[in-house]
């Protein structure tokens, strides 16, 4: 047994060297990883430190109330709630002029006014919304909704085609927060207006499956319907539009986009009914669209959508849709 002792000692020393080698490798790896990610961690922490804290707790609370009303106004197609959100946002800004939460609430409420034709002076509403969104970005470059609200306003620019700028802002918003389904929906809208709806359909469908109880489900279903209309996927558009109006029956824009998908799918009687439902919910929007003022920008898209709308309203014979579907 005594003769085994040196072997045992050698074995122990070898094992120790192996362990020392392993620990040395681990230490080297750890050092390398830390060296690689430390700058990013530091940059992240510095960004957090730079982010503005609310200048006033009261202003922040009022701003959050405004944001809540903006969301509810969109779900219920409610002009009064939009006006209340704007009043709350302005009240918060009177207390704290640099409240990013209030600025974004103001920008989104004015975007809704412009998009859904619920304000008499759309240019003034658009300008106030743009000023608010731009200021929010200046104050906090890391807030996705500063870029998101600006992008949505640019999609619905009152004068001229600002789609390229809209895409830049909404893509930046998506980079900052790829998990926000409302931002994803906004990007999908901009891509459809730009003439590339297929780029968004898969992403939006995946988001809808992953987030069955998402607070932005209304936006996902609406934009999916619009994307399918833009992509000439009419049957799929009818599916998403029908789900949308079942869940959000007060959304006139959902009814209108469903109506046009129904025309594309040759379901003309249902399309007429969908237009009447839209008129009941958002008469100003129906009037604006009937005047030909639609968010699509490309001439070929505008011609097709306007034709579908006239057929859905009973102003043109269904045969007119066949030539452009």
- Among 125, 168, 173, which residue's Cα sits nearest to residue 145? 173
User: What CATH code is assigned to 56-172?
Assistant: 1.25.40.10
For position 26, what pLDDT does the model report? 53
For position 170, what pLDDT does the model report? 98
Non-local CB neighbours of 192 within 8 Å, separated by 6+ positions: 200, 223, 226, 227, 230, 231, 296
Give 128-153 pLDDT, tens digit per residue.
Answer: 999 999 999 999 999 999 999 999 99
Non-local CB neighbours of 156 within 8 Å, separated by 6+ positions: 111, 114, 115, 126, 295
For position 82, what pLDDT does the model report? 97
Q: How far is residue 1's CA from residue 23's CA, in Å, rounded to a whole number?
A: 33
Question: In which residue ranges of the chain is pLDDT below 70?
Answer: 1-55
For position 53, what pLDDT does the model report? 56
For position 38, what pLDDT does the model report? 39
Give 79-128 pLDDT, tens digit per residue.
Answer: 999 999 999 999 999 999 999 999 999 999 999 999 999 999 999 999 99
Chain-wide mean pLDDT for the chain? 87
For position 12, what pLDDT does the model report? 56
Q: Percent of the chain having pLDDT more than 70?
A: 83
CA distances from 140 to 23, 135, 227 (A): 44, 9, 31
- Among 60, 119, 111, which residue's Cα sits nearest to residue 88? 60
Cβ-contact 238, 246 below 8 angstroms: no
For position 143, what pLDDT does the model report? 95
Cβ-contact 174, 153 below 8 angstroms: no
CA 71 to chain CA mean position, Å = 12
């Amino acid at each position: 047994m005594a003769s085994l002792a040196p072997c045992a000692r050698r074995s122990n020393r070898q094992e120790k060297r192996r362990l020392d080698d392993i620990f040395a490798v681990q230490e080297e790896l750890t050092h390398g990883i830390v060296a690689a990610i430390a700058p990013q961690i530091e940059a992240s922490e510095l960004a957090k430190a730079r982010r503005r804290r609310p200048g006033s707790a009261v202003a922040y609370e009022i701003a959050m109330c405004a944001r809540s009303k903006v969301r509810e106004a969109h779900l219920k197609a409610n002009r009064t709630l939009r006006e209340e959100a704007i009043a709350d946002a302005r009240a918060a800004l009177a207390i704290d002029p640099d409240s990013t939460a209030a600025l974004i609430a103001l920008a989104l409420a004015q975007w809704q006014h412009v998009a859904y034709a619920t304000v008499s002076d759309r240019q003034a509403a658009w300008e106030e919304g743009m000023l608010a969104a731009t200021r929010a970005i200046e104050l906090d470059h890391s807030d996705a909704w500063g870029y998101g609200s600006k992008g949505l306003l640019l999609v619905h620019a009152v004068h001229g085609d600002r789609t390229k700028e809209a895409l830049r802002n909404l893509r930046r918003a998506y980079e900052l927060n790829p998990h926000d389904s409302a931002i994803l929906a906004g990007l999908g809208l901009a891509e459809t207006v730009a003439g590339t709806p297929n780029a968004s359909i898969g992403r939006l469908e995946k988001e809808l499956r992953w987030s069955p109880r998402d607070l932005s489900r209304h936006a996902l279903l609406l934009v999916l319907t619009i994307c399918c209309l833009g992509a000439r996927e009419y049957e799929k558009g009818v599916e998403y539009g029908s789900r949308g109006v079942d869940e959000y029956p007060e959304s006139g824009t959902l009814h209108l986009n469903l109506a046009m998908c129904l025309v594309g799918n040759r379901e003309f009687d249902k399309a007429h009914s969908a237009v009447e439902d839209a008129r009941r919910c958002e008469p100003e929007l129906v009037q604006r669209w009937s005047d030909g003022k639609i968010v699509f920008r490309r001439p070929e898209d505008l011609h097709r959508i306007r034709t579908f709308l006239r057929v859905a309203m009973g102003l043109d014979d269904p045969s007119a849709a066949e030539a452009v579907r």
